[in-house]
Amino acid sequence: MPNGKSLDDTVKNMLYIASLDNYLMGLKSLVRKGKPHPVLAIRIQLSAHLRENLKTLGLRRVSKALTVTDVLNGHDETPASPNAEGIQ
């Protein structure tokens, strides 16, 4: 059973990732002097860490199978996973 520390770490990672996403969306370009912005590397590392934390907590992405009727009715968007990994 996961401890509270891994849950705390997961929540902090989600906050950091959201903050970095907000910062990156405010930039005019994600490329600086022909190279990716350095913050992108940090965001990628945090995302990988979050993914591992979610695995440790026993959470995983689950796809919903769509029927032909769902697609025809325009319900082809996958709903957010109830386990919160839809953050990526």
Distances (CA, A) of 37 to 9, 24, 47, 74: 25, 9, 16, 37
pLDDT at 75: 67
Tokens (6 digits) for 2: 């996961």
Amino acid sitting at position 64 = K
pLDDT digit string (tens) for 10-39?
Answer: 899 999 999 999 999 999 999 988 999 999
The pTM for the full model equals 0.61
Q: What's the chain's average pLDDT? A: 81
H-assigned helices in the chain: 4-25, 38-56, 68-72
pLDDT digit string (tens) for 48-59?
Answer: 999 988 888 887
- Kindly tell me if the per-residue pLDDT of 87 is higher than 50: no
